[in-house]
Amino acid sequence: MRTHGWGGATPASDEEAIDRILDAADDAIEARGADMRIADVARALGVSRQTVYNYFPGSGALREAAATRSGLRFLEPLAEHLAGITDPIEALVESLAYTLEWLPEDRSIQVMLATDFTKASTRITSDACVQFGHAILAGLDVDWADLGLRDADLDDLVEYMLRILQSFTIDPGRPPRRGAALRDYLRRWVAPVLYAEITAHQ
C-alpha cells in the first residue's frame, strides 16, 4: 500500500485505500458527472494524482470502478425485489423497471451508461457487463433451462437489456415514464422479444 499523503489519515490497507478513492470518486461524479478528473479525487483525499494513478490507470477506469461498486451494492435489493417472480416476462419487465427507477439515484451508473469515455473504456456490452447481468438473471426464480434458454441465450438477453437501459438513460422520455406507465410500456414493446424467443425454443 502507498502511504504518502491521505490528509494525515493513512489507509490501513490497499482495500481501504481503494474504498476511499471510490468514495471520493462518487462525490466527484455527483458534482461533475463525466467531467470528473483524477485531480478532483486526489484533492479531496489530500494525496497526489500519482497516488490515485497507482490504483487506477485513468479517470475512465476510476469511473467504471465506481459504477461497478454501485452495481454490486444494487444487487441485493434487486434480488429481494424480484424474489418469488417465476414468470419470465414479469421478471424481465420488473427487473428493467426497478433498475430504471433506481438509476436516477446513482450518478455513477448514469454516467457509465450515458457516456463513452475513451476508446479503451469498458462498453456497456463488454464481457464484464454481460457477466454481471447474467449473474442477475441466473439468480432469479425463473427456470430458464425449463424454458429452453441456455447460457448463450441469457447472454444475448442481457445484452438486449443493457441496450434498453442505456437508451432510457440517454433519453428517458418526455416526461420520463415511471410506475405503472413504465411497466406497461416495457410489457408492450420489450417483453414480446423474450416471449418470441421462449416460443421458438418450445
Please write the tens of the pLDDT for every residue from 125-170: 777 778 888 988 999 999 999 999 999 999 999 999 989 988 888 8
Looking at the predicted structure, is the pLDDT value of residue 42 above 90? yes
C-alpha grid cell, residue 9: 489519515
What's the CA dihedral at 143, 144, 148, 153 to 10 degrees?
Answer: 180
C-beta separation of 28 from 44 below 8 A: yes
C-alpha grid cell, residue 190: 420489450
Please write the tens of the pLDDT for every residue from 63-83: 888 888 887 888 888 889 999
Average pLDDT on 94-99 reads: 94
Rounded to a whole number of angstroms, the distance between the first and last alpha carbons of the chain is 55
pTM: 0.75
